[in-house]
């Protein structure tokens, strides 16, 4: 007698090893879930920046030139952070409808579909349920899956949520500062305002990511830096993505390593 085919099929974005590792942990995949946001970021320009410091003009006739300055475009960063949060909530709402405990292997795609004033965020992952445990009100989410997730749980940590933070620094050229005119700055010289714009963007994104932790740890961090020019100004955007995890067990049930080869002999 043949076994009847299952009445419910599921889809998943997991690889075969990751799928097998989830089953070994008691996480049963339910289906592929996604969250999407597409909107318009209000028009921004050099006037959107909040000055941090100024730079004197590098040419001789300083009275005829503007002063350069370095600043942060916080409004733009808040808009993208809110867009990511909206897409995340929509993905988790879809997971909740399936009765999921969490979402693993979350992938984040962010871009400008039309121009620099447009904003598109797409999150998707595989909803899973922990057999024998009733799902909570809000499913957890993580970029991790498979062996990486299994090892994290083995040493006493559990996933909490995917995290996204960013910081945009703007360098207003003024009279082009150090590299004004031919021969003022030779090849290989570091343009200090641009260097400090990169440093400000990176440190600001790290600080913003730490502010999301609230007692959790940020794991699996990736950093992306993008530089662009607009209205005689240079913009440096640093984005951080990762997974927030929290410690659920103080003891680590791992065996002490045993030496098998004596490298000193």
Q: Residue 147's domain is classified under what CATH number?
A: 3.30.110.70
* Full domain range(s) for residue 174: 16-247
Taking each helix axis as running N to C, give the angle between helix 146-154 and helix 16-24, from 0 to 180 degrees, rounded to the nearest 10: 30
Q: Give CA–CA dist 208/176, Å, rounded.
A: 30
Least confident span in 4-18, 73-87, 230-244: 4-18
Q: Is residue 88 part of a domain?
A: yes
Q: Is residue 254 part of a domain?
A: no
| Token digits of residue 204 | 């600001």
pLDDT by residue (tens digit) across 153-209? 888 899 999 999 999 998 887 655 555 444 555 554 556 778 888 999 999 999 999
Q: Is residue 261 part of a domain?
A: no
DSSP type of residue 179 = G
Cα dihedral: 200, 204, 205, 206 (round 10)? 110
Per the prediction, the chain carries an average pLDDT of 81
Q: Is 257 exposed, middle or buried (0-12, 13-18, 19+ CB in 10 A)?
A: exposed
Instruction: Render the burial of 63-73: b for 16+ CB within 10 Å, e for the rest.
Output: eebeebbbbbb
Q: What is the pLDDT of residue 182?
A: 47
Q: Count structural domains, the chain.
A: 1
| Token digits of residue 78 | 């808040």
Q: Is residue 3 part of a domain?
A: no
Q: Is residue 53 part of a domain?
A: yes
**Mean pLDDT within 108-131:** 88
Percent above pLDDT 90 for the chain: 35
Q: Is residue 133 part of a domain?
A: yes
Q: Is residue 41 part of a domain?
A: yes
Q: Is residue 257 part of a domain?
A: no
């Amino acid at each position: 007698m043949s076994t009847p085919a299952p009445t419910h099929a599921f889809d998943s974005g997991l690889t075969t090893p990751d799928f097998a590792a989830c089953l070994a942990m008691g996480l049963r995949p339910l289906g592929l879930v996604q969250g999407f946001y597409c909107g318009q970021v209000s028009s921004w320009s050099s006037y959107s920046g909040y000055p941090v410091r100024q730079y004197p003009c590098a040419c001789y006739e300083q009275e005829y030139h503007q002063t350069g300055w370095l600043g942060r475009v916080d409004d733009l960063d808040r808009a993208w952070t809110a867009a990511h949060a909206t897409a995340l909530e929509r993905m988790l709402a879809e997971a909740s409808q399936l009765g999921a405990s969490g979402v693993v292997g979350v992938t984040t795609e962010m871009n400008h579909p039309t121009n620099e004033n447009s904003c598109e965020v797409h999150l998707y992952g595989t909803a899973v349920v922990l057999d024998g445990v009733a799902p909570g009100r809000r499913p957890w989410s993580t970029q991790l899956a498979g062996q990486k997730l299994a090892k994290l749980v083995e040493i006493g940590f559990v996933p909490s949520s995917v995290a996204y933070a960013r910081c945009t620094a703007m360098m207003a050229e003024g009279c082009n500062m150090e590299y004004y005119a031919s021969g003022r700055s030779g090849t290989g010289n570091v343009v200090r305002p641009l260097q400090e714009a990169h440093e400000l963007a990176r440190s600001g994104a790290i600080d913003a990511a730490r502010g999301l932790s609230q007692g959790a740890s940020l794991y699996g961090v990736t950093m992306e830096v993008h530089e662009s020019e607009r209205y005689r100004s240079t913009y440096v955007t640093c984005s951080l993505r990762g997974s927030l995890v929290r410690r659920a067990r103080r003891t680590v049930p791992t065996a002490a390593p045993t030496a098998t080869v004596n490298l000193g002999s």
